[in-house]
Structure 1
Amino acid sequence: MKFTHMLFLLLLTASLQAQKKYEWKTATAAGYTYKYVTNDPTATRFYTLKNGLTVALSPNKKEPRIATRIAVRAGSNTDPKDHTGLAHYLEHVLFKGTDKFGSLDWQKEKPYLDQIDALYEQYNHTTDAAQRKAIYHTIDSVSGAAAKYAIANEYDKMMASIGSQRSNAHTSVEETVYEEDIPSSAIDKFLAVQSERFRNPIFRIFHTELEAVYEEKNRSLDNDGSKVFETMFASLFPTHNYGQQTTIGTIEHLKNPSLKAIREYYYKYYVPNNMAVVFSGDFNPDQMIKKVDAAFSYMQPKPVEGYKGPVEAAVKGPIVKEVYGPTAESMRIAYRVGASGSREALLADLTAAILSNGKAGLLDLNLNKAQKVLGASAGAYGFKDYGVFMLVANPKQGQTLEQVKDILLEQIDKLKKGEFDESLIKAIVANRKLSELQAQEDNTNRVVEIVDQFIKNKDAEWDQDVAQLDEMGKVSKKEIVDFANKFFQNDNYVVIYKRKGEDKSIVKVEKPPITPVETNAGKQSAFVKSVTATPLASTQPVWIDYNKDIQKGKAGPANVLYVPNKDNSLFRLHYYFNQGTFNNRLLPIALQYLQFLGTDKATAEEITKQFYNIAASFSTNAGNEETTITISGLQENFDKAVSLFENLLRNCKVDETALASLKDRLLKARTNTKMNKQAIAQAVRSYAVYGANNPFNYVLTNEEIKSLKAADLVALLHSLTNYKHDVLYYGPSPLAKVSADVAKLHTMPATWTAAPKAVVFKPLKQTSNQVLFTDYDAVQSEIYWVKDLGQYDPAQSAKIDIYNSYFGGGMGSVVFQTIRESKALAYSTFAVVQTPAKKEDDYTFIGYVGSQADKMNDAINSMNDLLKDLPKTDQNFENAIKSEKKDIETQRITKDDIIFNYLRAQKRGLNDDVRKSIYGNLNKLTLADLATYHQQQFQNQPFTYTVIASEKRISMDDLKKYGEVKRLNVDDLFGYENVNRGM
């Protein structure tokens, strides 16, 4: 395949300039010296403060917010051998405050915490079961006394009050990273909190937080994917901590924590020369570096000896491992790769893309497009010492995992023989550059990439990271073939077969007896009062004006909705239909079939290559009530990309072989879906809202799938653009030209064909409590509360938003504080009112607790108590109002999101940006309003409970306490076997 002239010049210019384009430079401004890379599109500055703290600042003025990361080079690799999981523990307790916040009276709290420290050391060194039980009873008692002085979630509530979003943290093998996304106006408050947070962390409310970690461990035992990853790493790295220490840790170590060891770990690794502060967003870097320095200059450096892993011997395989669990069968082949940043890592990354890039790789074309397996992909990722190269696949109906392995290895042989077009390398680079261009607009993407380089000690190689795609573009086909023949040899891989079956090795972390602790909801420390005393500077909200921000035109009979792209040369064109699966259950199947079809002049494979070689793509999505077709790429290739798709849609031809394979894959995918706990949960919730006939199971039955006719599907595709649809465009071309081009390229009739009438689903009105139970082999129980709350009313929008935030929508909410923080009944819990998509539809309440099966009754009763009577805390309500206002003030809806926001508003009968009325109504709301709403909607009202759990681990008699129990088998839920739905 040949490239367009434009794309060739783009790549040629990049290649010629690569050697001199990206160079390290040093500059000084505002009294601080920093390094930067020339022509870095993110304009990132790298500072090293006097105490060794790395500060990376990447200005981006797109919206008045800043993505922040505080990163530490410490993870499960650096856990002590006798205290695995410690870095992850520490991450959790660093949300608990210091001696200045998180406590009502530190002097009174401290003696209890010292006593708890000593008790845990005693517990850690005691083996007698009766003695351990007695010690834990004392820990529970003393913890209850200490908690009277603790303020649970004060950090989370404080961050919410300044408008922070996505407060979180994560721990991995080499890193612990603390994450926030804040309004630009909140930077001074943010830095005050963060500098205090790391000054003297106090490990309070520890035993309930430890229980949350137990729950996280138990969730991992239910996750077949997690078990596969652990097995893969253990096999690839038999001596290195990558494979020998998991992030959550062993059950033995989880049961025997040491606060002393955690504190020692903190002082060893949380030092400025081992940490980085990374910001991307709306700020002046000259001002920001002064603020960061002032906030963290108190930190004192000390030598840090990081983990030095052993050199692993070559993998002598194949090493074959098996993992069992309730989900569908799959398999993967894994190879060990050299360190991140090495030449081997770069070549492995490019090789993975040659095999699998989602469009035109060997696996994409030879396996996925040819439908030889249910699905296959490849990928590579790296750490400081090593990386991993993986091939993953799911079998079709009738295939064994061993057969799938052989099919994957056949593609490796093709790669080693050079059976791919050299132009594919250039196309991969071009497509990645487009993706990177889009990613660089997002603050989160920027900070994630910078942190990744810091953690791997590669921050000095930012120039290489920026130039990496140019380096890839210089790789020849010969180098890839030589690499493949050297890298894939002597069966040097691990193969893991994920089989369906009972995992008899699972040992869950047992539930300890925990007395609920006081959370002191609504109370504040003096420190927090000082931080929040001064209100944030107001940021002017920016509303969408649908009459001004969206330009409107016509292309034939179609309305054109247009938003200009003033930033770059990318376009997105959407055909938006107000019909979907509810109108025609064949529609999603037909659109899926399209990707396997060719025309009289080109095969499906050739068409895919044509799109990929001009860095363009198309995608289709058939929802319940609307369908969207999207074509995207470089504006200079607009005509060619649109013409390619239009020719395919108009002239695709029947392919019986492709349909037979598609049917087979659809049926296998359905079998797999029925084993997936998340899919089962979605199915049960839909059943709870609508009954046996519901949107989730409104699909073709298996018999209908088997009876599908290729001619019917192709006829539907050929006629699709005869149905009414709008044309949506975001790109650099003027509206008049877009309209003219679409009218020329896009086939439409003079008048629209009427769409089939849509089926309508009406929610059930609960008159009594009911329990829907589905048996599933798992350690945990998944419990949902479902209730219909009546028809949509835009006047209620502000109240419902605040209610969600206050009651159950985040870590500072009533539900989270009570069920997780106080009672330690769950790792994950929430309760929210879901707003419908259309004005004629109803609100739905969804509550959730995921807990160990032996905590199920306590979890249900705890949520029910909250639903009976809303706990009222003025401070939490005020925080919810502040957070919502700041979110709206700093939100910027841009690009084609403007158009989709308008279309959503139309469905709800709105003519204006609903955020404007929400913002105007926030200050009118009172906590009494929420209490009244809660009482009217939930107090003494019936619910439908859905419970997904192992019948071996819970009591059916217990479920009967909550309502009439109805057992649902998966066949009742999915509609695959149900021919007569009564519609």
Structure 2
Amino acid sequence: MLGSMSPELACSSAATNARRGRSFAIPLAAGLLLSLAACGEKSPPPEQPTPPQPSVEVETADTPSDILASSDLPEPLPAPLADDAMGVTVHRLANGLTVYISTDRQTPRFTSWIAVRAGSRHDPADSTGLAHYLEHMLFKGTGALGTIDADAEAVHLLRIAELYDALRATDDEGERGEILTAIDAETQKSARFAVPNEFEQTYGKLGINRLNAFTSFDQTVYLSEVPSTRLEAWARVEAERFRNPRFRLFYPELEAVYEEKNRSLDNPAWRTFESMFQALFPGHPYGSQSTIGLIEHLKVPAYADMVAFFQRWYVPNNIAIVLAGDIDAETALPVIEKYFSDWAPRALETPAAGELAPLSERVQRTVKAPGEAEVHLAWQLVPANHEDEPALYILDQLMDNATAGLIEVELVLSQKLPDAGAYTEIMREAGAWMMYGTAREGQSLAEVEGLLLGVVEKLKAGDFTQEQLDAVKLNATIREMRELESNWARVAKMTEAFVNHTPWSQAADRSERIKAVTREDVIAVANTYLGDAYVAVYREKGEFTPPKITKPQITPVAIDPERQSAFAAEILAMPASELEPEWLVEGEHYTRTKLPSGTLIAAPNRANELFTLSYEFDFGYQQRPLLCLALELMEQSGIRGEGAMSPAELKRALFAMGTTVSVRCGVDSASLTLSGIDDKLEDSVRLLDAWLHRPALTQDTRDKLVANILSQRKDELEDPRQIGRALANFARYGKNSPSLVEPSNQALRRANLRELGRLLASLPSTRHRSSYFGPRAADAVAAQVTLGRRHRPAPKVPAESFRRVADGRIFFLDQKRAQAEISITLPEKPLPAEERALARLFSEYVGGGMGALIFQEIREARGLAYSAWGYYATGRRPQDAAAVFASIGTQADKTFEALKAMLPLLRQTPLQPARFASAKRNLLEEYRTNRVLPRAVPDAVKGWDDLGEASDPRPRSWEFVQTAEIDQLGEFSQRLGSEPLIISIMGDAERIDMDALGSIAPIEKVTVEQLFSY
């Protein structure tokens, strides 16, 4: 499917009810991505010495106007285009800084992306990874923010830069060790004046959140969500950030980059993608350079090159501020002008030209990895702004639209492959169209490649109808309507236009150009670009031995939460009107209606004519073991009897209406969700009802489906991602682990069509919850959405509980990999309702972003992990056990050190008044400025219902947090210290100090076979 950036999130949910399955993730961007916070302001010119600024030979133009003329900047657009639903305006400051604005008043916040037209494509060939670790360093503060004495600190920063120059100049390991020791010592000296993560902490106190960043081929982008009342503070800080950065604490931060590299090495999808692009663009940085960086370059970080990269590309005539939300040009432009106008432009260099020679033949590469065997095929495509791009979009969606594409119908519905799909990447200078297929057990990769190419030939021969083409266009329109609801989608679209040098008139007109694509256009581009010259990457089963990155000795940086720079104090003191929280009110924001089937929760969609309708069943495969198999079989089947349809006809009928059916099946819950255009609601519900009551189940489809599931299960027994998830659940839940209560292979083989059909037919008549988000009122839609009759009670789901171990336990699984994945659980009894607000405050204190305890102590102070998080999980229902969940992803030889640093943060949580005050202020600002978006209202209400809350519980939390005392947090955290530890570790035993690990808790070694029911 057509995609752009898919940054990998560092923190993942600990939820265990996700439906078993797999989606191919494309690692196109690297970055911090830690769900943090943001805001800003302007400072006076720095008076302190600056870190070394290597001379950069930049060809200068005679005048600023010459510089801007050569920068290929977007044309200003002071008023929105007539037919632009986003209402975008484009503005340019005198220094070349571009500002995009799209107004949406849903919430009192705006989303900010600050985009730099420079990414890994712009890295020097001998210093790959530069753009990415510069992105990390832009969170370290400035000459005014993040330091209590910039002059004293600058002396040590200068010395650190000199030492990195010396490090790069030697290959002698002994000398390198001495230099690293000196860098560590100077880092300690500089840290005496640093205020680590003051940037994020300041933003958090202002209610600015979702602070983040990513680096991709052609761009580096800095993200935040800002209360509209904090516009001036945000502008002042961001101007200071980009004009006056200080690259402090580089040494421990580089360790986080190493850990990110380790994650990529342990990720077969990332290695497959990099191998594919290396073969597709061998003479161009898109293929020859890794975004995170080559190991040999990361081992010898080019500090001076990083500074030069910043000077070269981080200039106003190469940057855009992209805003969407509760903001407009009249308000924003004077403030942006005030703080950014004195930022001097600079003539831009032309990056080193890369060779984009067309492939002349099929090129094959091989990647070894445990888990499933796959084939990935890739063809070179056009760059951004090419006239063929709209037709190529249609091509991509005809092939794979997740419902009725040629790949779905020919390969997945037919069960020829367990999984297959396609996606597109369009960059500034080139593009690629890629498809993939997963082999089932005993199927050769050559056969998989042949099946994929067979579908390509069907496309090239025009084996699709005008109706299919029209359906793709309709669904593209629906996608655009959905994107208008999201400020993140708006800023992403504007950012893409800036980075790709696309005039906004052209970007806004893209939907019309897609509508104009003809069948002949698609056939023409298919035959033009999808020829015999392509890249084939075979992901074969096998062991991959990751290269080792030697762990340097890092002395922990002392972090004093009481420190604050004068600049941060000024920012926090800036006047701003104070927003009041807004709570959801039944009857105003949503309604509850009693139906024969259960409760209907309805919320109005006032933005467009789209609907989403969900049926939620409070039971899953633990209560009805074959439920997931039945639902998967239904998805592969048609409808029998009146209005009979084959599987392909049914999928195409749904797609032609613009209706998507999503099926989820987990350990103790399942759901069916319809979404589409509201005037197709009745037709969509009728089709779903017929599908459940009259599925055309066949023995052949059942047999092929079971064979594919068994093949996937065998692959999962070798897949580190699946194994790691199962290990954590085994440690937490013991015999009740989701992976152990799944039906066995034998149970799947024995399942017959009659019992599977009965399971499906029984769903509508089992009590369930419904939720509707759409333009109709609840009373107008209730009769149309009701499923089933004579509804029977749902099976009981037992309360969730955790494994009990008397003295704690470490469950260890030996796996050869670069990283160790550590999961920590501190089980508790069910949490009383009156303590939920305190638990939320605890989570904010220990794990609420880059300024919280875990991030600062594990990553910022010690460089022990890229990913480190923790929070208090209250349980989904009042009777469910609560627990503290925490996780660390660290280099294997740092496992013991990382655990020893993490455990006291959870079990003997240090109480620091300044940090507690920050956590309180952050939460209060979150309540003041965050809103539940209309589309999210039904899910929020369902969550409150699960907890037994009759109404929005946040007002009670708001009242509690305002008066909470640090002693209450201390009493709450104190009891966690008495709970027995449950730890799971997946890592390389040869690289982990097992004896030291045993001093924490008894070690129980487990095997993969113990973790699964199959």
Query: How high is the TM-score relative to the length of structure 1?
Result: 0.93
8 Å CA contact 2:726, 2:739 repeated in 1: yes
8 Å CA contact 1:157, 1:876 repeated in 2: no
8 Å CA contact 1:160, 1:883 repeated in 2: yes
Structure 1 residue 655 displacement after superposition = 0.8
Corresponding residue for residue 838 of structure 1: 877
Corresponding residue for residue 824 of structure 1: 863
Corresponding residue for residue 533 of structure 1: 573
Corresponding residue for residue 751 of structure 2: 708
Q: Distance in 2 between matches of 1:519 and 1:364?
A: 53
8 Å CA contact 2:210, 2:223 repeated in 1: yes
Query: What are the equivalent positions in structure 2 for 1:894-905 lying under 5 Å apart?
Result: 894-895=933-934, 897-905=936-944
Structure 1 residue 924 displacement after superposition = 1.3
Deviation larger for 644-653 or 405-414: 644-653
Deviation larger for 729-738 or 521-530: 729-738
Corresponding residue for residue 13 of structure 1: none
Classify the secondary structure of the residue corresponding to 2:347. coil
Amino acid at match of 2:533: N
Amino acid at match of 2:223: E
Amino acid at match of 2:1004: K
8 Å CA contact 1:195, 1:296 repeated in 2: yes
8 Å CA contact 2:380, 2:529 repeated in 1: no
Structure 1 residue 759 displacement after superposition = 5.1
| Equivalent of 1:496 in 507, 530, 537 | 537
- Residue by residue over 1:82-133, the C-alpha shift from the partner in whole angstroms, topping out at 9 and shown as x without a partner, is 2211111211111111111111111111111111111111111112221121
Q: How many matched pairs?
A: 936
Corresponding residue for residue 51 of structure 2: none
Closer, same or farther in 2 for the Cα pair 1:45/1:955, shift >3 Å?
A: same
Amino acid at match of 2:688: F
Corresponding residue for residue 529 of structure 2: 487
| Equivalent of 2:604 in 534, 549, 564 | 564
8 Å CA contact 2:896, 2:992 repeated in 1: no
Q: Distance in 1 between matches of 2:312 and 2:98?
A: 17
Classify the secondary structure of the residue corresponding to 2:764. helix
8 Å CA contact 2:808, 2:980 repeated in 1: yes
Corresponding residue for residue 16 of structure 1: none
Whether 1:768 and 2:810 are equivalent positions in the alignment is no
Amino acid at match of 2:242: F
Corresponding residue for residue 18 of structure 1: none
8 Å CA contact 1:183, 1:886 repeated in 2: no
Classify the secondary structure of the residue corresponding to 1:952. helix
Structure 1 residue 308 displacement after superposition = 5.2
Whether 1:471 and 2:519 are equivalent positions in the alignment is no
- Consecutive unaligned residues of structure 2, counting only runs of 5 or more, are 1-75
Corresponding residue for residue 588 of structure 1: 628
Query: What are the equivalent positions in structure 2 for 1:733-882 lying under 5 Å apart?
Result: 733-742=776-785, 746=787, 748-749=788-789, 751-758=790-797, 761-882=800-921
Deviation larger for 131-140 or 549-558: 549-558
| Equivalent of 1:673 in 691, 699, 716 | 716
Corresponding residue for residue 647 of structure 2: 604
Structure 1 residue 661 displacement after superposition = 1.0
Closer, same or farther in 2 for the Cα pair 1:148/1:894, shift >3 Å?
A: closer
Corresponding residue for residue 12 of structure 2: none
Corresponding residue for residue 686 of structure 1: 729
Amino acid at match of 1:457: H
Corresponding residue for residue 958 of structure 1: 996
Corresponding residue for residue 11 of structure 1: none
Classify the secondary structure of the residue corresponding to 2:523. helix
8 Å CA contact 1:397, 1:668 repeated in 2: yes
| Equivalent of 1:354 in 381, 398, 403 | 398
8 Å CA contact 2:110, 2:325 repeated in 1: yes
Classify the secondary structure of the residue corresponding to 1:346. helix
Whether 1:419 and 2:458 are equivalent positions in the alignment is no
| Equivalent of 2:702 in 649, 654, 659 | 659
Structure 1 residue 625 displacement after superposition = 3.2
Whether 1:649 and 2:688 are equivalent positions in the alignment is no
Corresponding residue for residue 327 of structure 1: 371
8 Å CA contact 2:820, 2:895 repeated in 1: yes
- Residue by residue over 1:230-255, the C-alpha shift from the partner in whole angstroms, topping out at 9 and shown as x without a partner, is 11111011111111111111222212
Q: Distance in 1 between matches of 2:635 and 2:877?
A: 31
Amino acid at match of 1:370: S
Structure 1 residue 547 displacement after superposition = 5.0
Amino acid at match of 1:142: E
Query: How high is the TM-score relative to the length of structure 2?
Result: 0.90
Corresponding residue for residue 17 of structure 1: none
Amino acid at match of 2:438: N
- Consecutive unaligned residues of structure 1, counting only runs of 5 or more, are 1-31, 977-983
Whether 1:49 and 2:93 are equivalent positions in the alignment is yes
8 Å CA contact 1:62, 1:282 repeated in 2: yes
Structure 1 residue 677 displacement after superposition = 2.6
Structure 1 residue 228 displacement after superposition = 0.8
Whether 1:206 and 2:250 are equivalent positions in the alignment is yes
Corresponding residue for residue 46 of structure 2: none
Classify the secondary structure of the residue corresponding to 1:700. coil
Structure 1 residue 311 displacement after superposition = 4.3
Corresponding residue for residue 931 of structure 1: 970
8 Å CA contact 2:252, 2:860 repeated in 1: yes
8 Å CA contact 2:842, 2:969 repeated in 1: yes
Query: What are the equivalent positions in structure 2 for 1:118-197 lying under 5 Å apart?
Result: 118-197=162-241
8 Å CA contact 1:56, 1:278 repeated in 2: yes
Deviation larger for 572-581 or 797-806: 572-581
Q: Distance in 2 between matches of 1:476 and 1:638?
A: 29
Corresponding residue for residue 421 of structure 2: 377
- Residue by residue over 1:275-308, the C-alpha shift from the partner in whole angstroms, topping out at 9 and shown as x without a partner, is 0001101123211111111110011111102425
Deviation larger for 332-341 or 646-655: 646-655
Whether 1:407 and 2:447 are equivalent positions in the alignment is no
8 Å CA contact 1:766, 1:787 repeated in 2: no
Percent identical pairs in the alignment equals 30
Amino acid at match of 1:91: E
Amino acid at match of 1:87: A
Amino acid at match of 2:989: E
* Cα RMSD (Å): 1.8
Q: Distance in 2 between matches of 1:622 and 1:537?
A: 46
Whether 1:287 and 2:325 are equivalent positions in the alignment is no
Q: Distance in 2 between matches of 1:200 and 1:503?
A: 43
Corresponding residue for residue 578 of structure 1: 618
Closer, same or farther in 2 for the Cα pair 1:589/1:92, shift >3 Å?
A: same
Amino acid at match of 1:314: P
Query: What are the equivalent positions in structure 2 for 1:432-447 lying under 5 Å apart?
Result: 432-447=476-491
Closer, same or farther in 2 for the Cα pair 1:759/1:706, shift >3 Å?
A: farther
Deviation larger for 105-114 or 676-685: 676-685
8 Å CA contact 2:924, 2:962 repeated in 1: no
